[in-house]
Structure 1
Amino acid sequence: MLTSAIFLLATGLLGISPSEAKSPKSISVSAATASREAGPLTASSNTLTLTRKQSPKGYNARSAAYLLGLAKIPPSDHTTTLLSLFIGEEFATQITFGTETFESIVDTGSSDTWIVETGFSCINVSNSAPETEAFCDFGPTYNVTDTFTQIPDENFNITYGDGEFLTGIIGTEEVTLAGITVKQTVALVNLAAWEGDGTTSGLIGLAYPALTSAYAGTNPHADNSAAGEQIVYSPIFDTIVTDGKSSDLFSLAILRDVSGPSGYLSFGGLPPVTFTENFTSTPILITTITGYPVTYDFYTINIDSVLLHGKPLPGSGGPGIQYIVDSGTTLNYFPTSAADAFNAAFDPPAVYNADEGVYIVACNASKPALDIVIAGTKFDTNPLDLILLAGTDANGNDQCISGVADGGSDPGSDVYILGDTFQKNVVIVFDVGAAVLRFAPHEHYVSNDPF
């Protein structure tokens, strides 16, 4: 999930609706630039444990599915869709600012590392009215200490796709992440329009530095103008690499179990999970979703094809069809024809529900065989990930949805998604230096996740 060249203070203050804010105005795909050849991989000594966090609003505004307009959003604060349990899911880990440790959201689509500071002002996302701090529902707040140094004449200003926004100050702080301590440029949030989860206090951005959200001057209203030009700085992963404390790659393993860790994020090497260490590489493409007032960059790849019972589904892959690799999106989103064909292969067949934007399937349906072919290598999907328990109906009966959704019918303009349905079955290395994503099969493992 890179955020944003912010033009003005906030969509809420400007009278822009959340639907307008999240509507992408353009989607472009470009190749990443390599600085070295891909090299051997070893186990990392700097690993973060991930935990799942559920947004009370029922969606993850930083997910590719949300920003592409693919996810059906609950129509009110008191209504949920079948998918809302899943698109509201994010991953968080621990980060230390000075001597204070917090839980923060991990976001591979944005670049800034920020934390909310004690005494911040809270704004209602819907109507811009002042609220109590508790209304924004952050976790613990950061107390400024002597290790923080404010950078003069700069401000922080970021808006997310659903109208949430944050402003504050820019400075440097001793930050520790995965056992690595660096002097890092960070943002302290002192004004927030936010709908939190009650536990996380900030965000850790792991994407490219091109669209970091620092601006010249102290007036957020002037940002992205001649008086408030964007100031690009080194995000935390870049700083870790530049300081020689990690090689320029990180790896991600999303786990299925609900009682233990939700996954691992490792810097400079491989995570502590059992998998087949036979990696397949494919070039990193960057998908930029540009809207008003939010811009995101996502790690993206081409795939060869989607296989159904070992046979390629026409139009599911090839050089003109891109797939975003996004841990913030739960389902896989395939081209319409491929999604329809796959879901018809359940027994009994899954049925598309336009109101929900998902395929409804019997919880005990027989599951088809699904594989993703990347750079000539076939990656199978564990049947456990093909049917997700989504709740109960009015009679108390379980309702389930397919792990594959419809991503659109126009490969010329649509970009598709490999979400957690796929990612629970692989270990992914984001080899930024070599400009490739590297995939290895995650060995099938016993799970207590009912999804």
Structure 2
Amino acid sequence: MRFTLATVVAALPYLVSATIVPEQHGQSRSISLGKRSNLRGEDGVVNADNLRAHLKSTVGKIQRGAAAFERNTGARHPAASASTPAKRDVASDKLTDDSEELWYGKISVGTPAVTYTVDFDTGSSDLFLPGANCGSTCSGHTKYKHTASSTSKALGKSFSLAYGDGSTVKGKQYTDTVKIAGLTAKKQTLGSASQYSSGFESSNFPADGLMGMGFKSISEYNADPVFQTLVKDGETTDGVFAFKLSDSGAELTLGGLNDDLYSGKITYVDVTQEGYWQVDVDAVNVESDKVLGSTSAIIDSGTTLVVATTSDAKKFYDAIDGAEEATDIGDGYYTVPCDSIPDVSLTFGGKEFKISSDTFNLGQESSGSSKCVGGIVGEDTGLDFWIVGDVFMRNVYTVFDVDNSRVGFAELA
């Protein structure tokens, strides 16, 4: 017997916190994701500078979100350590993977509508685009001209976003009409950037802007993210979106699921703290042996790596024969023998989901080396959770359920 999502929602009070539920969903429309690689060269060697910059940017984003959470809610994020501060529609968007660092697709903004590419990032919550008065660093990007949109309204507020790699975005806030795959978010808060640092130049950041898909509590604007606006405006079938992240056929689906992209049942785990998509991992496994027990994690499409605490990363690699610290790459990085990449998996809701050797292996440490850099990295962010990014997400169909505050995982079809 198969159940609709409405049936599952009705039954939620009677289900345990981590459940496996069969579902059926309607037709979807798609937005593509494209790909470019600059974390690994054509020779298979990792680009250490880009890898370090990506990790810094990720840490900065997560710490900024935690600061926004405190401003918006009046309380420190619970994961912060003491040391650190009617019938509606289903749509989908084909996605592009840029250097396994960001996944981007098309949206349109304004009246008349102008098309932009944006990075879809579940680890943040705000939409920003380069503004008309942005300088040379915005060259090559499509610029948002608020004066040309009849539905644009200035909010009289500024914004400033700083990333750990030194990248910054600054500008003014507006509301305007945002469309994605035919779904319309009216009076959506967005940022029009008057300044992009070099990290967001088109040569480094091919998307025009970024669209956060977390919760309102980590919004720098303290405003609803685009997807939550779509739900409030009655544009989606269900308050659900899902990612398939892969080298081909990558897709973001909004308002439901695309049954053709996954097989079997979806395993759901409850969000433990809204802000990020924060859930519990039952176990971290090497060769099917549990090497780490229960830990908290956020599921972040805007991060390539899986970022563990430094102590957890050490315990993880201690369980792998031949693993060594990769000091030439940076603190927290490790290598494993290229000819024996380990079987690694994460357990959610009692089900083990594997990380393929292709996604776990970031590339050779150096040209001709027999050592390959592992995709789980140790870094202390000041928040007591792992950041589970694309190294894991590229192996599963990932469901983000806003209505029921949960995340689901399924095997790819």
Normalised TM-score (structure 2): 0.71
- Are the counterparts in 1 of residues 123 and 212 from structure 2 also a CA contact under 8 Å? yes
Q: 1:276 to 1:204 in 2, by over 3 A?
A: same
- Are the counterparts in 2 of residues 249 and 430 from structure 1 also a CA contact under 8 Å? yes
Aligned counterparts of 2:100 and 2:242: Cα–Cα separation in 1: 23
Amino acid at match of 2:241: F
Aligned counterparts of 2:187 and 2:193: Cα–Cα separation in 1: 19
Q: Residue 427 in 1 paired to residue 397 in 2? A: yes
- Are the counterparts in 2 of residues 113 and 202 from structure 1 also a CA contact under 8 Å? yes
Q: 1:243 to 1:322 in 2, by over 3 A?
A: same
Q: 1:369 to 1:212 in 2, by over 3 A?
A: closer
Q: Residue 117 in 1 paired to residue 104 in 2? A: no
Q: Residue 406 in 1 paired to residue 410 in 2? A: no
Q: Residue 49 in 1 paired to residue 61 in 2? A: no
* Coordinate RMSD, CA, aligned: 3.4
Q: Residue 90 in 1 paired to residue 102 in 2? A: yes
Aligned with 2:207 (options 177, 200, 216)? 200
Corresponding residue of 2:170: 166
Give the Å deviation of 1:147.
4.0
Corresponding residue of 1:440: 410
Aligned with 1:180 (options 173, 178, 183)? 183
Corresponding residue of 2:88: none
Counterparts of residues 302-341 of structure 1 (less than 5 Å):
302-313=280-291, 316-318=292-294, 321-334=295-308, 336=310, 339-340=313-314
Amino acid at match of 2:290: P
Aligned counterparts of 2:210 and 2:284: Cα–Cα separation in 1: 33
- 2:263 aligns to what SS in structure 1? coil
- Are the counterparts in 2 of residues 254 and 264 from structure 1 also a CA contact under 8 Å? yes
- Are the counterparts in 2 of residues 303 and 373 from structure 1 also a CA contact under 8 Å? yes
- Are the counterparts in 1 of residues 269 and 408 from structure 2 also a CA contact under 8 Å? yes
Aligned counterparts of 1:110 and 1:368: Cα–Cα separation in 2: 31
- Are the counterparts in 1 of residues 34 and 104 from structure 2 also a CA contact under 8 Å? yes
Aligned counterparts of 1:87 and 1:267: Cα–Cα separation in 2: 24
Amino acid at match of 2:129: I
Q: Residue 239 in 1 paired to residue 209 in 2? A: no
Alignment length (residue pairs)? 340
Corresponding residue of 1:20: none
Aligned counterparts of 1:335 and 1:115: Cα–Cα separation in 2: 33
- Are the counterparts in 1 of residues 127 and 211 from structure 2 also a CA contact under 8 Å? yes
- The C-alpha deviation readout for 1:113-158, integer Å capped at 9, x for no partner, is 222232x14xxxxxxxxxxx22345512134465433435522313
Give the Å deviation of 1:264.
1.4
Aligned counterparts of 1:68 and 1:208: Cα–Cα separation in 2: 13
- 2:307 aligns to what SS in structure 1? strand
- Are the counterparts in 2 of residues 407 and 415 from structure 1 also a CA contact under 8 Å? no
Aligned counterparts of 2:312 and 2:224: Cα–Cα separation in 1: 40
Q: 1:146 to 1:136 in 2, by over 3 A?
A: closer
Aligned counterparts of 2:344 and 2:394: Cα–Cα separation in 1: 13
Aligned with 1:100 (options 95, 101, 114)? 114
Aligned counterparts of 2:30 and 2:119: Cα–Cα separation in 1: 15
- Are the counterparts in 2 of residues 150 and 171 from structure 1 also a CA contact under 8 Å? yes
- 1:95 aligns to what SS in structure 2? strand
Q: Residue 377 in 1 paired to residue 360 in 2? A: no
Give the Å deviation of 1:433.
0.8
Amino acid at match of 2:286: L
Aligned counterparts of 1:62 and 1:248: Cα–Cα separation in 2: 32
- Are the counterparts in 1 of residues 240 and 402 from structure 2 also a CA contact under 8 Å? yes
Corresponding residue of 1:252: 243
Aligned counterparts of 1:337 and 1:190: Cα–Cα separation in 2: 38
Q: 1:374 to 1:89 in 2, by over 3 A?
A: same
Q: 1:108 to 1:338 in 2, by over 3 A?
A: closer
Q: 1:156 to 1:41 in 2, by over 3 A?
A: farther
Q: 1:87 to 1:417 in 2, by over 3 A?
A: farther
Give the Å deviation of 1:282.
0.8
Q: 1:398 to 1:189 in 2, by over 3 A?
A: farther
Amino acid at match of 2:293: G
Give the Å deviation of 1:101.
0.9
Normalised TM-score (structure 1): 0.66
Aligned counterparts of 2:57 and 2:258: Cα–Cα separation in 1: 23
Q: Which segments of 5 or more consecutive residues in structure 1 lack a partner in the other structure?
A: 1-34, 70-85, 122-132, 215-231, 288-296, 444-451
- The C-alpha deviation readout for 1:303-339, integer Å capped at 9, x for no partner, is 11112222211xx232xx2112112222223455654
Q: 1:413 to 1:245 in 2, by over 3 A?
A: closer
Amino acid at match of 1:201: D
Amino acid at match of 1:276: S
Give the Å deviation of 1:406.
2.6
Percent of pairs with identical residues? 24
Give the Å deviation of 1:345.
5.5
Counterparts of residues 211-222 of structure 1 (less than 5 Å):
211-214=218-221
Corresponding residue of 1:386: 360
Aligned counterparts of 1:306 and 1:350: Cα–Cα separation in 2: 16
Aligned with 2:336 (options 361, 369, 386)? 361
Amino acid at match of 1:159: L
- Are the counterparts in 1 of residues 286 and 344 from structure 2 also a CA contact under 8 Å? yes
Q: 1:141 to 1:438 in 2, by over 3 A?
A: same
Aligned counterparts of 2:138 and 2:337: Cα–Cα separation in 1: 38
- 2:391 aligns to what SS in structure 1? helix
- The C-alpha deviation readout for 1:183-211, integer Å capped at 9, x for no partner, is 23243525214232413222212122235
Q: 1:275 to 1:299 in 2, by over 3 A?
A: same
